[in-house]
Structure 1
């Protein structure tokens, strides 16, 4: 194999960052341009060429260049934020259901009625994820509001039913309100519903395979903080890693960086409702992370719009 053939083969390997269809249509043109610009005795791609091809390929997969301006701008960021919020909101009920359902099957009995509602919440929020990913924003809003209502119902049933005496009591409204404020899903679902509204009026394009967004649910359960003890001793390290990852991802897709910043807002509200002054370090971490992500993403969106 000659030097030119070896160099061309290495360039073609780097094109794997691009989608298959794009490689088929534009691959020869890209490789030809790179070969023409190569130095006389160049044997391998330069670090700059490797980085550029990798970033451009990922940008093409993310739709940064080929998408309409609405998809590449703020509305695209809102759509991603809604999907992240809903995936995160699905993680908690899913983990709770993972504890409840095996015990129900093993014991062949339900301890209290709220156990039957929690799996239903998981299914409804998952449907909201798929609906938004498919561009069905009205259905996504209805599913999100239904999930929020079921979440509040779970809290009300948990407070109203005495598992020892099996008596039904009626707790004061303040107690239910305080419990709802301490429930992460309450803030996540309410904020997601709020962000869906502008997408109903001015929608952006949908995902070809919306169900794939459900893969983000277990990822959220492990990487993001919950009170279901799924993350174990991983927090706050994994949260900081997520923030750092989205900051670096701005080079590929600024929409995701803005969306990640919006994802942290319900966590800030949750921390404040849990007496944030007692969690000052965590609260400041979320505040600084949100500000950094949104600011960095906004600058990236401005540059992205000029491409």
Structure 2
């Protein structure tokens, strides 16, 4: 057994959370040293990669909460996206010169929906899911009234409230575990999509780029925390509904064009949901060692 090899393994194990190192570090170090070929002075590349990924997964707490935690994160992403988008539209309307595009009643209803949306976000953050569902439903009813008055959905997040409600319903009876690591900040990710609206001349390109960045980033993070991929896939369902509504409003194109456009829009969320769905069952399987071997018991 090489002293250099033991030092390098110990350095890799220091990447894990302190409680993990305290409870399992010595045992795991002994196992790693016993399974390594004699004469080596450094761990194999495959094992080094597995240990680093295992440390990231341990810090992410990917095994805590499963799909319920992903549902909560996705619902918050949808609510934050709607509220932020609505706030931008209201602010632009208040700052624009000339006569308002909205009637006084439409302005009051929109502000009321914005307030209810903020309350829904606060309630979901506090795990008061019934309150979040009720306020989101009231906000969507007001949105429908405004949309009907103006003969079109006003906000790009039009479908966010009903989608968020669907995701919040299962959480009423089964509370999710708290989000950890990057998943904790997932509700802020939709704000990047909202920022693209501040550059009107290239907003379409920037928005597409932001959606692709969210998709690719979540897909890469799948190796560390599957819950983020599921949350992002559920959130991006909104883009599919938006695209379908726009196509319907503009007059349906020929079927091949329609099928291609919807397929391209649906591909990112579908890929995230399928890959997350294939990986998530590992949360409920036997605990695994950082090098990928299943433990007994």
TM-score (norm 2): 0.70
Report the counterpart of residue 215 of structure 1 in structure 2.
188
Could you list the per-position Cα deviations for residues 137-194 of structure 1 after superposition, in whole angstroms to 9, with x for gaps in the alignment? Answer: 112212322332343455467x4xxxxxxxxxxxxxxx3xxx13x6432211111112
TM-aligned CA distance change 1:31 to 1:198, over 3 Å = closer
Between the two proteins, the alignment pairs up a number of residues equal to 272
Determine which of 121, 130, 136 is the counterpart of 1:138. 130
TM-aligned CA distance change 1:44 to 1:153, over 3 Å = farther
In structure 1, C-alpha distance between the alignment counterparts of 2:198 and 2:139, rounded to whole Å: 19
Q: Could you tell me whether the CA contact under 8 Å between 1:121 and 1:147 is conserved in 2? A: yes
Deviation at 1:231? 4.3
Q: Could you tell me whether the CA contact under 8 Å between 2:69 and 2:178 is conserved in 1? A: no
Report the counterpart of residue 271 of structure 2 in structure 1.
292
Determine which of 28, 33, 38 is the counterpart of 1:36. 33
Deviation at 1:247? 2.7
TM-aligned CA distance change 1:3 to 1:88, over 3 Å = same
In structure 2, C-alpha distance between the alignment counterparts of 1:216 and 1:61, rounded to whole Å: 20
**Pairing of 1:84-233 with structure 2 (within 5 A):** 84-97=77-90, 99=92, 103=95, 113=104, 121-152=113-144, 154-155=146-147, 159=150, 175=151, 179-180=152-153, 183-207=155-179, 215-222=188-195, 229=200, 231=203, 233=205
In structure 2, C-alpha distance between the alignment counterparts of 1:149 and 1:197, rounded to whole Å: 18
Deviation at 1:285? 1.1
**Pairing of 1:228-239 with structure 2 (within 5 A):** 229=200, 231=203, 233-239=205-211
Q: Could you tell me whether the CA contact under 8 Å between 2:57 and 2:224 is conserved in 1? A: yes
Unaligned 5+ segments in structure 1 are 160-174
In structure 2, C-alpha distance between the alignment counterparts of 1:251 and 1:211, rounded to whole Å: 17
Determine which of 46, 55, 76 is the counterpart of 1:83. 76
Report the counterpart of residue 274 of structure 1 in structure 2.
246
TM-aligned CA distance change 1:271 to 1:232, over 3 Å = closer
Secondary structure in structure 2 of the residue aligned to 1:275: helix
TM-aligned CA distance change 1:214 to 1:274, over 3 Å = closer
Q: Could you tell me whether the CA contact under 8 Å between 2:226 and 2:280 is conserved in 1? A: yes
Unaligned 5+ segments in structure 2 are 287-297
TM-aligned CA distance change 1:8 to 1:247, over 3 Å = closer
